[in-house]
Amino acid sequence: MTIELIPVPDLGGADKVEVIEVCVAVGDVVEEEQSLVVLETDKASMEIPCPSAGTIVALKVNEGDTIGEGDIIVELEVAGAGAVAEVAAEPEAVTEPEPATEAPAAPSPVSKVALSELLVPVPDLGGSDSVEIIEVCVAVGDDIAEGDSLIVLETDKASMEIPAPVGGKVLDVKVAEGAKVSEGDAIVILQVDVSAASERTEEVVSASESAVQETSNKSAPAATSESPKVDPASAQATAKGDSAYAGPSVRKLARQLGVDLSGVTASGPRNRFTKDDVRNYVKQVVEDATSGKLSSGAGIPKIPEVDFSRFGDIELVKMTKIKKITAENMSRSWLNVPHVTQFDDADITELEVFRKSMKAEAEKRGVKLTPLPFLLKAAAAALRHEPTFNVSLHADGEHMVQKNYVHIGIAVDTPAGLMVPVIRDVDKKGLWELAEETATIAKKSRDGKLMPRDMQGGCFTISSLGAMGGNGFTPIVNAPEVAIMGVSKAQMKPIWNGSDFEPRNMLPLSISYDHRAVNGADAGRFFTYLVAVIGDIRRLLL
């Protein structure tokens, strides 16, 4: 086994570039050519592939780091011996999608002069003559990299960026916005460090052998016969038509700020996005969100503040901590969870007969047997029967957490606010035990004696308003649980038994569930089973 240090390869003129993605982690087994990191310049992003297969033993860069040629990216353990740093592969440029017309692929013609000064002329424009410059992207003194846009031209068919054929310092800009240029006209004079130039620079420079053009008092500038061709047909095919166009630096800014350009209005010449368009969009979104104005999906409009004292006598009552926490939890759940609520009535006629028959024994035991322990038992049975309800969504967005335990929370109304203590292993407990535990935990809640652990780990919640009344309500899911049952007041109702209306004691129930985690069919099965168990509690024994 050999440890190889994998460095940043020659970046083709780019000096320091940002690491925008680290694609591997320590311990990863990587293939030859597998991407290690993604680097980004103003113009393009490039993946640095691994020169050989092996195991990553150390990671030397982080996302957001700025690195340059020769900096070590990873330490790689490879089988057998091998050359190290120098073998790193050439970067694989993954240029951002650009209109095909904007960046001619072949090197632009340049002229080589004695003091490494290069005149960069307008390349072959595919037949177009006297084309308007709609943007000059560089200024005197700029250090630019190979491929950086120098100017943007626009014909009646498309706009195109003319990239720098090599990196260097801008000594002179020969053009201005609005001017019209043709093939061969000078764009800029670049100072190039030929000694440190990349192979591509050498290629470009040595390819420039003909069509000499004078530049100041320096010698023999030349324009190449291998000028890039802009194919007007493809230009037309890929031009954005009516839609606005953004240059690489604008797109980079948009990416950094998380802005989708489809929502931005372009204000630049001929429907081009400017950096200010992106900044103004962000400013507007922030302003709208804070002022409560509705904008395209950003922010929730605030309920306007009202001075109620204008309408009558008022007093300010301090919210308890629990009320504030409840308010936050409820809004979080309401805003995050797509709720569906389903309703049904359970026939508790037999259940009530049985419950009342146990009254004397309950008194002897010192407990009160309300319908709640029966509901807890039935819910636990339904969660076991239909485990698709006994889940939570995993934060990674890729998994569900299937729970193999059955802990159920009960909503308890207390003077300090709503609390939801959790009864553990409901499926394993009997009705008496549940009746006792419910009473104990409800008292603990009202006395403010619950510990955080008493309120954690619930799989499902029951909110019973049955003692108070009501025909039904839509409870809010107690996230990260995915379902909650609302219990309303049981009432005698005439139920058709096939030949007669029969008085039956009917308990209105509702189930709200998180439709991201549970689908309607699962909910239908869960609820039908639960209602059936409540209707005939002998089913709990099955």
Distances in whole angstroms, Cα of residue 223 to Cα of each of 124, 163, 190, 212, 213: 11, 16, 14, 6, 7
Could you tell me the smallest distance in angstroms from the CB atom of residue 375 to ligand CAO?
8
Among 72, 358, 465, 540, interactor with ligand CAO by CB under 6 A: 465
Span 487-506, contacts to ligand CAO by CB under 6 A: 487, 489-490
Dihedral over Cα of 490, 494, 495, 497: its sign: positive
CA distance 88 to 33: 10
Q: Which is nearer to ligand CAO, 157 or 489 (CB)?
A: 489
Which residues make beta-bridge pairs with 345?
Answer: 508
The DSSP H or E segment spanning 341 is strand 339-347
Q: Which is nearer to ligand CAO, 41 or 505 (CB)?
A: 505
* 3-state DSSP assignment of residue 276: helix
Could you tell me the smallest distance in angstroms from the CB atom of residue 361 to ligand CAO?
14
Could you tell me the smallest distance in angstroms from the CB atom of residue 347 to ligand CAO?
13
Could you tell me the smallest distance in angstroms from the CB atom of residue 454 to ligand CAO?
13
Q: Which is nearer to ligand CAO, 16 or 489 (CB)?
A: 489
Among 464, 478, 510, 512, interactor with ligand CAO by CB under 6 A: 464
Q: Centre a 10 Å sphere on the Cβ of residue 66 and count the other Cβ atoms it contains.
A: 12
CA distance 417 to 319: 9
292-297 CB contacts, 8 Å cutoff, 24+ apart: 296/263
Residue 515 annotated as catalytic: yes
Interhelix angle 349-357/371-385, rounded to 10 degrees, is 130
Q: What is the DSSP letter of 69?
A: T
CA distance 231 to 168: 28
CA distance 117 to 112: 7
Q: Which is nearer to ligand CAO, 388 or 438 (CB)?
A: 438
How remote is the C-alpha of 402 from its chain's centroid? 24
CA distance 363 to 340: 40
Among 507, 530, 531, 533, interactor with ligand CAO by CB under 6 A: 507
Q: Which is nearer to ligand CAO, 165 or 371 (CB)?
A: 371
CA distance 342 to 40: 51
Nearest to 347 by CA among 499, 494, 522, 472: 494
- Choosing from 339, 385, 407, 515, the catalytic residue is 515
Provide the token pair at 431: 């009705």
Could you tell me the smallest distance in angstroms from the CB atom of residue 430 to ligand CAO?
16
Q: Which is nearer to ligand CAO, 100 or 487 (CB)?
A: 487
455 is an interface residue for ligand CAO by CB under 6 A: no
Could you tell me the smallest distance in angstroms from the CB atom of residue 390 to ligand CAO?
21
Could you tell me the smallest distance in angstroms from the CB atom of residue 507 to ligand CAO?
6
Q: Which is nearer to ligand CAO, 171 or 432 (CB)?
A: 432
Size of the site for ligand CAO (CB under 6 A): 20
344 is an interface residue for ligand CAO by CB under 6 A: no
Q: DSSP states of 172-196 as a string?
A: EE---TT-EE-TT-EEEEEE--GGG
Provide the token pair at 210: 């003909």
Q: What is the DSSP letter of 348?
A: -
CA distance 482 to 485: 11
- Which string of x and - marks every residue 209-228 that binds ligand CAO (by CB under 6 A)? --------------------
Could you tell me the smallest distance in angstroms from the CB atom of residue 501 to ligand CAO?
21
466 is an interface residue for ligand CAO by CB under 6 A: yes
Provide the token pair at 185: 């006209």
Choices 239-247, 257-265, 464-472, 527-535; region in contact with ligand CAO by CB under 6 A = 464-472
121 is an interface residue for ligand CAO by CB under 6 A: no
349 is an interface residue for ligand CAO by CB under 6 A: no
Residue sitting closest to ligand CAO (CB): 466
421 is an interface residue for ligand CAO by CB under 6 A: no
442 is an interface residue for ligand CAO by CB under 6 A: yes
Backbone angles phi and psi of 190, in degrees to 5: -110, 145
- Do 344 and 531 contact (CB within 8 A), yes or no? yes
CA distance 385 to 69: 61
378 is an interface residue for ligand CAO by CB under 6 A: no
* 3-state DSSP assignment of residue 455: helix
Span 400-419, contacts to ligand CAO by CB under 6 A: 410-413, 418
Q: Which is nearer to ligand CAO, 85 or 532 (CB)?
A: 532
CA distance 98 to 114: 35
370 is an interface residue for ligand CAO by CB under 6 A: yes
Provide the token pair at 93: 């440029």
Nearest to 179 by CA among 131, 230, 128, 123: 131
Could you tell me the smallest distance in angstroms from the CB atom of residue 380 to ligand CAO?
16
Q: DSSP states of 473-487 as a string?
A: --PPP-TTS-EEEEE
Could you tell me the smallest distance in angstroms from the CB atom of residue 410 to ligand CAO?
5
Q: Which is nearer to ligand CAO, 49 or 371 (CB)?
A: 371
Q: Which is nearer to ligand CAO, 270 or 359 (CB)?
A: 359
Return residues touching ligand CAO (CB under 6 A).
Answer: 370-372, 410-413, 418, 438, 442, 463-467, 475, 487, 489-490, 507
Return the active site residues.
Answer: 515
